[in-house]
Each structure stands twice: as C-alpha cells, then as structure tokens.
Amino acid sequence: MTAVTGWWRGLSGPERFRLYTRLTLQSAILAVAVILAVTTARAWATPGVLIAGAAALLAVEAQPEFATIGRGRKRRWMLPTATAVLVAMWLGYAIAARVLSDEADVDAARSAGIYVAMLAALSIAPFVRHSWWIALGLSVATGVAFGAHPGGMLLVAGITFLVAVFLVGTTLLTRWAITIVDDLERARVVEAKLRVAEERLRFSRDLHDVVGRGFSAIAVKSELASTLLRAGAADRATTEVEEIKTLAVESMDQMRALVRGYRDINLDGEVAGARSLLSAAGCELTVEGDPSAVPAEFHEVAAWVVREATTNIVKHSSATSATITMGSSGMTLRNNGVSSVATDATAGADERSGLRGLAERLAQVGAHIEHSSTADGFVLEVRWEDA
C-alpha cells in the first residue's frame, strides 16, 4: 500500500486525471460486458458478448490518450482489428435473429446485437471522422437488423441513436477535457520558464545599462591616452589615465552594487515570490506563522531556505501543495511531492549541491538543516543555534 501511495503521489495532476479517465472508461466497458454475459438468456450468446467487450477494450486501447499499457508502441493494427471483430459479431447476431426460430434465442440475439452496436458507438465512433453520421447510420442499421416489424425497427433505431449520441458525446467531451488539461500543463511549464527568462533578461539589461557605459568610456579614453602618448603629450595622457582609473573604480562599484542588489534577499519578499512561483507551477502554498517571528540575524538565511526549497519543488517534484512554518526556533517546509534530491541516489551534482550549499550557508550563522522523505512527501527542517 505504501508503494502504491508513493507512486500515486509521484504523479502530476494531469497524469492522475488521464489515468482516472482511462481506467474509468475501460472498467465501464469490462463491467458491462461481464454483466451482460452473465445475465444473457442463452449460453451460446455469452462468448460473443465477451469477445465484443474485448474488441471494444482493444479499440479504446488503440487511442494514445486512453491507452493503459504499451503507450509508446505502434498500435495501428488495433483499431482495424477491433472494428472487424465488432462488425463480425454484429452481423453474426443479426443473422441469428433472422434465422433462429425459438423466441428466447431470437431475443438473446437481438439483445446481444444491440449491445455490440452500443460498444461500437462508445469505442469506435468517437475516434473516427464523421462520428455523428456514423452513430446515426449504426442506429438505423441496428433498427433494421434487429427490429421485428417496422414499428419495432423505428423503436430500436431511436433508442440506439439516443444512447449512441450520449456515448459519443461523453467520450468526445472526455477527450476534450484531456486536451485542456494537457494544454494547461504545458502553459504552466512555459510560464515557469518565462519567469526565469524574464529575470535573466532584467539582470542582463541592468548589467548592460550600468556597466556598459563605463566600459565604453574606458575604451575611448584608453585609445585617446595611447594617441596622446605617441604624440608626446605626456601631461594630457596622464590626465586621461587618471580619469580611466576613476571610471574603472566607479564601474566596479556600480557592478558590485548591482550584483549585491540582485543577490540581496529578504524573507517577506521570498515568501511572496514563492507563493507566486508555486501557484504558476500548480502548487498551493500555505504559510503558518509570521516572518517577524524569525530572529533578525537569521532572516537572510531563512530567505535563502525559502528560495532553494521553492526551486527544488518546481524542478524536482510534482507537488500540488506546500506548507512553510516559521517560528523563533526554526522553520519547516513540507510538500506532498517527493523530491528527487532526497530520494534519487543518482541525482545530478547540481541537484545535490543546492541543499549542500544551503547547509554550508546555514552553518556559518550557527543553524543546521535536515531533510527527509516520508509517505506524505518531502520535509525540510531548519533549526537555529538556540533551538
């Protein structure tokens, strides 16, 4: 049970939805096939019903969005094979309904034939072109084949068509829902990447604006000083060199200020940023406690903990919820997606170095960090020196 729970928690939201949809559809087909086979009035009709149910499962398995096994394999043969089997079963029951003389046998053939038509409407019609016309044609043909008289033919065709419309519509809506979920998942990934790209662009723009002008001036004045030296104007060249030195020092100070401003973080800002980033990644963040409860000397390292933990959740887990608890003695971060940083012994060096670098940063201020993987997800605990 623990392994199954861990596997389920390891799936993303879209993967869970797709799995639920596939299992629901195929379980419904299997259950109806078994129930009808058990309750059929004639034993000779039972094998055909089970074969038709298996063919319907094969037809659904042929669709990549509904496949449960071998999703990477080529499955072009599945749908034609399933169609041929269902058509053969339908024709067999239609012939039996016309040639058999016993009323019970005729009723069993009619019931089984209509059931096969329903299976075709559920498992084949939604996945081919002109689904609604195929459903209409199948309903008319079923009415003609299994109706005892003109009125009965019309009744069977009408009932079959209504049920077929419901089945085809339900399946098409399910396919549409899966498409929407996939699009939302792709949009979430793209949004997270865009946030990173925008931050990189902002920093590169600031670096160019602040430092580029100073370096350009240095290059121009260096060329002027070189020209003055060759012309023998040593005094003017000396002046230009002094100005070059001043520009270089100012540019270095500006660059340090820029990098310092980029690297300086505060706890309140990181918590707000974490909530925004995790929301974009499909993870709901809950904050327990108040950042002001964290001792002032640990605010900066606590902010780094929040930033690193947020990065790990986005990059290395499929968490849908996370909790940050802050207090005077430490802080705890939990999420319901098991992080590969803690569980994968073969994880890359960049994945392991994040927590290791964080532990080194915490050690410098007398704090320590522990992380563990549980059945409920991943837990990161930080304790200050007075804990």
pLDDT tens per residue, range 190-239:
877 787 777 777 777 766 666 676 777 788 778 888 888 888 888 888 88
pLDDT at site 348: 40
Distance CA 250, CA 253 (A): 5
| Phi–psi pair at 289, nearest 5 degrees | 90, -175
pLDDT-above-70 percentage for the chain = 83
- Distance between CA atoms of 119 and 52, rounded to whole angstroms? 8
User: Which CATH superfamily hosts domain 267-383?
Assistant: Histidine kinase-like ATPase, C-terminal domain (3.30.565.10)
pTM: 0.52
- pLDDT at res. 387: 45
- Give the pLDDT of the chain (387 residues) as one tens digit per residue: 566 666 666 666 777 777 788 788 888 788 877 777 777 657 777 788 888 888 888 888 888 777 766 554 566 788 888 889 999 998 988 898 888 888 888 888 888 888 888 888 888 888 888 889 989 998 999 888 888 888 888 998 898 899 889 888 888 888 888 888 888 878 877 877 787 777 777 777 766 666 676 777 788 778 888 888 888 888 888 888 888 888 788 778 777 776 666 555 678 878 887 887 777 667 888 998 888 888 888 888 888 888 888 877 877 777 888 999 988 888 999 888 765 444 333 334 444 456 777 788 788 888 888 888 876 788 888 988 654
Helices (H), the chain: 2-10, 13-39, 46-61, 78-99, 103-123, 131-146, 150-207, 213-231, 234-263, 267-280, 299-316, 340-343, 349-363
- Inter-helix orientation angle 349-363/299-316, to 10°: 170
pLDDT at residue 341 in the model: 41
pLDDT of residue 324: 92
Structure tokens at 306: 């929040």
Distance CA 226, CA 368 (A): 56
- 68 is written with which tokens? 């449960």
Cβ atoms of 110 and 146 closer than 8 Å: yes
Domain ranges of the chain: 7-185, 197-263, 267-383
Token pair listed for 246: 């001043």
Beta sheet of 284-288, edge-to-edge order: 284-288, 321-326, 330-335, 377-383, 368-374
Amino acid 263: pLDDT: 54
Tell me: the pLDDT tens digits for 117-164? 888 888 888 888 888 998 999 899 988 888 888 888 899 889 889 988
